[in-house]
Structure 1
Amino acid sequence: MRERRHRMALLAAWAGVLLLLFRPQLHGMDTVAYYAWLRSAVIQGSLDVSDEFARFGYLSERGRSPTGYRINEWPVGTALLWSPFFLAAHLLVRIANGLGIPIPADGYSAPYLALTALGSALYALLGLELLRRMAGRVVPPAAACWGTITAGLASPLVFYMSAHPLMAHAVDFFVNALFLREWAGSPPAGLRSRFRLGLIGGLAASVRYQNATLVLWPALEDLGHLARAPREGLARLLGFGLGAGIGFLPQMIVWRVVFGSWIVGNPYAVAGAGSFDWRSPHFFDVLFSTDRGLFVWTPIAVFALIGLIGPLRELQPAWARLALAQWLAQVYLVGSWSAWSGAAAFGPRLLIGLVPAFGLGLAALFEAVRRRWGLRPVVALSLAAIAWNLVLLARYGMQDVPRMGPVPLEELWLGQLTFPLRVLGHWERILQALQRRY
């Protein structure tokens, strides 16, 4: 009964967010680029995305690749995971047309956008449930539930699974949670489990290229095992490598067709959209900058990190090591990129893949607090963090804070206290925003 109650609490939180904030809209270059792969392949039977970029006014910014295709440097994995929802919409539209209901079967009409966006939201829910169950293996259900809900609602994930679901970030969160769950739950010596883990890791890298860091840690494990038990270690390494190759193969096929090469080192550089400096000059900016820095925009991440370093390391040292290694790798990688802030973004969106690790850290920390002081401080911290994030989300939506660029710290933090007092003067705008779905 308690397990069921916590599952229902998570579902209720997710549904409540969607009822208020769900916006299945294509706006901004990134959403068009991710969606273009899917719409072009299904509706036009091609990987040339000229029609999609032209429809939304981005064609003049898009050149041609060496093979003659319109350049689209964004990865293809999100479109693959969206495809069941898009195809379901296509089928429903065809049925409606057969019944005399005139809905355009063009990939742009409302059913396509609504079901594809709902797919992102459902992947977020699946990721949260995976995280809750995983946390429940090391802490009691209450701490696991509160840690999971806080990780979801007090981070940028809540925005990208509801108000901006046609970005890749909700899917990114899901594949990271799935990878973490598979790594923690499978016998490391099993060839099938290693293959599955590699498959998920390869798919994750085709959702967001930076997820390639995920495959480093199992590969290092297998290399270490290779030195101790060569035959078994080699089998593990081959199984993992084969799975990763198959998981990433769709991206390689797209690269081969569009760019003429199976491997493209930095697809964004092809379009002149970003470069890397491996000294990671923005490592600390990613954490502390007022331009979407993790600890500045998402303060609960500080508590999550404390949970990873302390309580989780005592409960599950291997989990803590993997989570911290991935955390450092992601901050380093994002800090190496010239577009490290994510440009127009609600919070540190480029680090949403770390939300599963932060959920585990919060669950472990909440359990340590509960054992010492009871559940009330846990609930208070969780609700305060969620309220902070939702107020910030409202301010972002109403442009009380700029959509991109640095925000003075006093304006960002003090505004969190004054905005609820000022919001009464904007209630008409808020009601209009909540009613607008398309």
Structure 2
Amino acid sequence: MKETRYRALLIGVWFGILMLLFRPQLHGMDTVAYYAWLRAATIRHSLDVSEEFARFGYGEERKQSPTGYRINEWPVGPALLWSPFFVTAHLLVRLGNTLGMPGEDDGYSAPYLILTAMGSALYALIGLEWLRQMARRIASPACAMAGILTAWLASPLVFYMSAHPFMAHATDFFVNALFLWEWARANTPTAWARLRLGLIGGLAAMVRYQNATLLIWPALEDLARLRQMPRGGTLRLAALGVGAGIGFLPQMIVWKIVFGQWVVGNPYGIAGAGAFDWRAPHLLKVLFSTNRGLFLWTPIAIFALLGLIGPLRRACPRWAYFILAQTAAQIYIVGSWSAWSGAAAFGPRLLTGLFAGFALGLAALYEAGRTRWGMQPVIALGAAAIAWNLILLARYGIGDVPRAGPVPLTDLWLGQLTFPVRALERMGPLIRGLLRHGLLDKGLPGS
């Protein structure tokens, strides 16, 4: 019965967030590029995205590849995950046209955008529920739920699953949660389990290329078992590789058609969108910069890491070491990229997938806190982190903090404290005006 209540609470909060923040709109180069793969392949049966880019004013600046296709360096994984929702919208529009109902079957009308954007939100919800069930293995139901809610509502995920759903970050969170779910199912997996995990890892790398690092830890696990079980370890390692190859094959086919190569080392470099310097990564900036640094924009990440290093490492060291290793790998890759801040972004968007693991760290931290001090400190920390993020989201939405570039620390942190007061000061004259010119003019008592 408790499980049903917690699941209902999760769905209820999800609906509430969508009611407040859902914006199924295409705007910005990244969203157009991700969506272009989907629209071009489904509506025009082509991988040339020239028409889609031109519609949004990006045609002139995009060069052609050696094979004559318009260059689109963004991965195809989000489009594949969105495709069931897009195709459903296409069928509904066609059915409506058959029944005499108006509607454009061009891939851009409202049903396409709404259903595809809902796909991002739904994937985020599914990932959250998987993580909640995982967290139940290391924490009480209340602490598991608190950890999931905090990792969701106090991170960039809440924004990218609702207000900006055509970015890859909601699907990125989903595939990271799915990988963790599958990997954690057994301490000693079978070859079939490794094949499934490889498929998921390949899909994850198609959503965001950096997710290929997810496959490193299970590969190391299988290598470590080679001495004890040479045949079984070799078979599992081979199955993991085969699964990863099959899972990533759609991206390789697209690369072959568009770029003329089965494997492209840095698609963004081909488009002139950034280079990697593996010898001098911007690690401190990724963590501490006012330009979307992880700890300054999303301070709950500090507590999540404390939970991973302490309580989760004691309760389930296998999970903790994997999540910590993945965190280090992702921070290193993002830091090595010249565009490490993510440009225009709400928070450290390039690290959104890490919050799948951070949710488990928070659940473990909350469980340790509940055991020692009770639920009140847990609720207080979670509520404070969520309030921080939602205030920052409101400021980001109205332009109180810039959409891109560094923010003075006093504006970023002190602004969090002053913004509610400033918002109330602005609302005061508005409410008085409404009362004076609206309600009072209607002859309320005392007017």
Q: Please, what TM-score do these two structures have when normalized by structure 2?
A: 0.95
What CA distance in whole angstroms lies between the structure 1 residues aligned with 2:418 and 2:425? 12
Shift of 1:156: 0.3
Letter in 2 for 1:227: R
Render the CA deviation track for 1:381-426: whole Å, top value 9, x for unaligned.
1111101000000000001000000000110011111111122465
Map of 1:276 onto structure 2:
276
Map of 2:339 onto structure 1:
339
SS in 1 for 2:226: helix
What CA distance in whole angstroms lies between the structure 2 residues aligned with 1:284 and 1:5? 42
Render the CA deviation track for 1:86-123: whole Å, top value 9, x for unaligned.
00000000011111122110001110000000000000
Render the CA deviation track for 1:209-268: whole Å, top value 9, x for unaligned.
000110111111111222332111111011111110011000000000000000000000
Root mean square deviation, CA, Å: 1.3
Letter in 2 for 1:76: V
Map of 1:289 onto structure 2:
289
Unmatched segments (≥5 aa) in structure 1 = 431-438
What CA distance in whole angstroms lies between the structure 2 residues aligned with 1:71 and 1:18? 33
What CA distance in whole angstroms lies between the structure 2 residues aligned with 1:99 and 1:24? 26
Map of 1:217 onto structure 2:
217
Letter in 1 for 2:137: R
Matches within 5 A, 1:21-32: 21-32=21-32
Map of 2:115 onto structure 1:
115
Map of 1:401 onto structure 2:
401
Letter in 2 for 1:159: F
Map of 1:127 onto structure 2:
127
Matches within 5 A, 1:68-107: 68-107=68-107
Which range moved further: 40-49 or 414-423?
A: 414-423
Shift of 1:5: 1.3
Render the CA deviation track for 1:137-193: whole Å, top value 9, x for unaligned.
111111100000000000000000000001000000000000011100135331111
Map of 2:329 onto structure 1:
329
What CA distance in whole angstroms lies between the structure 1 residues aligned with 2:273 and 2:175? 25
Map of 2:352 onto structure 1:
352
Letter in 1 for 2:153: L
Structure 1 residues 100 and 218: CA distance shift in structure 2, 3 A: same
Map of 1:315 onto structure 2:
315
Map of 2:199 onto structure 1:
199
What CA distance in whole angstroms lies between the structure 1 residues aligned with 2:186 and 2:118? 30
Shift of 1:11: 1.1
Which range moved further: 226-235 or 26-35?
A: 226-235
Letter in 1 for 2:363: A
Q: Please, what TM-score do these two structures have when normalized by structure 1?
A: 0.97
Letter in 2 for 1:46: S
What CA distance in whole angstroms lies between the structure 2 residues aligned with 1:207 and 1:25? 20
Structure 1 residues 207 and 427: CA distance shift in structure 2, 3 A: farther
Map of 2:439 onto structure 1:
none
What CA distance in whole angstroms lies between the structure 1 residues aligned with 2:426 and 2:225? 61
Given that residues 189 and 232 in structure 1 are in contact (C-alpha distance below 8 angstroms), is that contact kept between their aligned partners in structure 2?
Answer: no
Letter in 1 for 2:11: L
What CA distance in whole angstroms lies between the structure 2 residues aligned with 1:186 and 1:206? 25
Map of 2:433 onto structure 1:
none
Map of 1:378 onto structure 2:
378
SS in 1 for 2:239: helix
Shift of 1:292: 0.1
Map of 1:163 onto structure 2:
163
SS in 2 for 1:73: coil
Note if 1:364 corresponds to 2:364: yes
What CA distance in whole angstroms lies between the structure 1 residues aligned with 2:280 and 2:214? 19
What CA distance in whole angstroms lies between the structure 1 residues aligned with 2:425 and 2:161? 28
What CA distance in whole angstroms lies between the structure 2 residues aligned with 1:159 and 1:280? 31
Map of 1:261 onto structure 2:
261
SS in 2 for 1:26: coil
Which range moved further: 321-330 or 272-281?
A: 272-281
Shift of 1:307: 0.2
Note if 1:36 corresponds to 2:9: no
What CA distance in whole angstroms lies between the structure 2 residues aligned with 1:311 and 1:124? 26
SS in 2 for 1:228: coil
Given that residues 345 and 404 in structure 1 are in contact (C-alpha distance below 8 angstroms), is that contact kept between their aligned partners in structure 2?
Answer: yes
Structure 1 residues 143 and 285: CA distance shift in structure 2, 3 A: same
Shift of 1:427: 5.5
What CA distance in whole angstroms lies between the structure 2 residues aligned with 1:240 and 1:141? 33
Unmatched segments (≥5 aa) in structure 2 = 431-447
Rg bigger for which structure?
2
Given that residues 280 and 337 in structure 1 are in contact (C-alpha distance below 8 angstroms), is that contact kept between their aligned partners in structure 2?
Answer: no
What CA distance in whole angstroms lies between the structure 1 residues aligned with 2:38 and 2:146? 36
Structure 1 residues 66 and 419: CA distance shift in structure 2, 3 A: same
Which range moved further: 388-397 or 189-198?
A: 189-198
Letter in 1 for 2:142: A
Map of 1:235 onto structure 2:
235
Map of 1:303 onto structure 2:
303
Render the CA deviation track for 1:322-352: whole Å, top value 9, x for unaligned.
0000000000110000000000000000000
What CA distance in whole angstroms lies between the structure 1 residues aligned with 2:376 and 2:61? 53
Which range moved further: 277-286 or 362-371?
A: 277-286
Return structure 1 stretches of 4+ with deviation > 2 angstroms. 186-189, 424-428
Map of 2:65 onto structure 1:
65
Note if 1:182 corresponds to 2:178: no
Letter in 2 for 1:43: I
Map of 1:436 onto structure 2:
none
What CA distance in whole angstroms lies between the structure 2 residues aligned with 1:126 and 1:280? 37
Structure 1 residues 51 and 427: CA distance shift in structure 2, 3 A: farther
SS in 2 for 1:166: coil
What CA distance in whole angstroms lies between the structure 2 residues aligned with 1:227 and 1:333? 31
Map of 1:252 onto structure 2:
252
Structure 1 residues 247 and 124: CA distance shift in structure 2, 3 A: same
Map of 1:434 onto structure 2:
none
